[in-house]
Structure 1
Amino acid sequence: MSEVERRHRRVQRVVAVIYLGIPLVLLGFVAWISSTGPAAAWIGCVVPAGMLVLGWILRRRHRYQPRWWMGVGGLYGGIAGLVVTLFPLVTGVWWPAILALPALIVGVVGGLALARYADRVLLVPVVPELADTPYELVFRLRGLPLAAVLVGADSVTIQSHPVPRSEQQFRTYPLAEVTGTFEFSLSGAERLKFPIAVNHAVATPGPAVILQASGEDWVLPTNQPDTLIDVLTRRKPH
């Protein structure tokens, strides 16, 4: 078994915990509390059951898209924290509700930590062989805190925000329209211009990649220029 295959198995186990494990454990907890309370308490199972069904659907869509893992992990963790502390109220146990806010915070942080762990297992260190997997690979841009390059199976996206809110915050090109990739070195004195809306850009010295696609040139400051070029080259249709 190769290193990439081992990563894949570990990553998918963690993704399954996020999308299915959290709601499944939560469903068991709610069912246990409901068994000691009034019959109407069983209605509470609707929340974790709905999370489980949604997680099953989303996991099939997101399993190869790391950019979604943190959002789902934080959301599911936060909901779990609230339910664990607030649902005992149906049986007359009120004291856990005092811990609702801390539980919400712990749940969100725990879900984000799981997603972050899965992301690190997959991408650290980034190796060109990942180009042969179906994963959408994310390359952060130096000096642009929220910006990233997403290399999918057949397209490359440059976006200035993790969840773009408008068409001005991202640009997507089919890999077939990528006409050139070149490594470049920045002195830090350049004023980079982007055809998308970019906030809080800070010029930094170091390596970069010049990406040419659909008649546009991009200068992408990245600390992994060789790997980004290798991935784009290997995924580009020949």
Structure 2
Amino acid sequence: MTEVERRHRRVQRIVALVYVGIPVVLLAIVAFVSSRGPAAGWVVCLVPVAMLALGLYLLPRHRYQPRWWAGIGGLFGAVAGVTAAVYPLVTGRWWVTGVLIGLIAAVPAAIFGLLVGLLLARRANLALLVPVVPELAESPYELVFQLRGAPLSTVLLGADALEIRAAPTKRKGAEQSRSYPLSAITGTFEVDLSGSERLKFPIALSVAGTPGPAVIVQAAGEDWVLPTNEAAILIELLDRRRTTTA
């Protein structure tokens, strides 16, 4: 088994825990509490059941797309945290008191669940990318690199295209993202920026002066200058993926 195959197995276990494991654990908690309360309480099971259905639907679609993992992990974690903390309090004889306590507990429970979901997503990302190996270029995963000086902006190396996004999950559009097929890329070069350059991007994006490494990507008669601390790694993976998809 290769290193990439080992990572793939480890990553997919964590991703499955985010998309399926969190709803299953919540369903078990809600079912346990409902079995000891009024029959009407079973309706709350619809929350984890809906989460589980959504997770099962999205998992095969997001399996190789790390940009979605944190969002789903944070959402599922927050909903699970609130439900698991508040539902037991409002079930039972003194439900009015439970509602009041539940309202107080909801915010810290949501924050705790959110952090758990985000940490699981981060762990999956680290399991995939640390340390970066050239063989990842031959995997089906989208590889995401952060742009220096532009919070949330990313360069996404897909299976057959390179895309720049104003935010990891922005919808496609002239002002939000731009992509070129790998076959249209004619050259890649690593440069060092002084920080005084005025960088121009193919989308609506403002990047502050960012001294450090950057990648020049030549495609379809245009040059992209992409400031990223992982310039050498991006070039190696991009060139290797271009070769394997040619």
Trace 1:24-35 onto structure 2 (pairs within 5 A).
24-35=24-35
Q: Secondary structure at the match of 1:168?
A: coil
Q: Distance in 1 between matches of 2:104 and 2:227?
A: 47
Q: Alignment partner of 1:12: what SS? A: helix
Report the AA paired with residue 235 of structure 2.
I
Query: Is the contact between residue 82 and residue 101 of structure 1 (CA under 8 Å) also seen in structure 2?
Result: yes
Alignment match, 1:37: 37
- Give 1:226 shift: 2.2
Partner of 1:185: 192
Q: Is the 8 A contact 1:76 1:111 kept in 2?
A: yes
Deviation at 1:96, TM superposition (A): 4.6
Residue 135 of structure 2 aligns with an amino acid whose one-letter code is E
> 1:85 matched to which residue of 2?
85
Sequence identity of aligned pairs in percent?
59
> What residue in structure 2 maps to residue 112 of structure 1?
118
Q: Alignment RMSD, CA only?
A: 1.5
5+ residue gaps in structure 1? none
Aligned partners of 1:140 and 1:98: how far apart in 2? 37
The answer to whether structure 1 residue 133 and structure 2 residue 139 are counterparts is yes
Distance in 1 separating the partners of 2:164 and 2:42: 46
CA deviations over 1:12-63 (Å, ceiling 9, x no partner): 1111110010000000011111111121111111110111111011111001
2:233 matched residue in structure 1: 227
Partner of 1:144, secondary structure, is coil
Write out per-residue CA displacement over residues 166-185 of structure 1, whole angstroms, 9 at most, x where no aligned residue: 53021011111112111122
Q: CA deviation at 1:97?
A: 4.6
Deviation for aligned residue 1:214: 2.0
C-alpha contact (below 8 Å) 2:217/2:223 kept by paired residues: yes
Give the distance between the partners of 2:92 and 2:61, measured in 1 at CA.
38
Q: TM-score, normalised by structure 2?
A: 0.91
Task: Give the aligned length.
Answer: 237
Amino acid at match of 2:120: L
Matched, 1:151 2:157: yes
Question: Which deviates more from structure 2 when the two are superposed, residues 153-162 or residues 86-95?
Answer: 86-95
The one-letter amino acid of 1:46's match is L
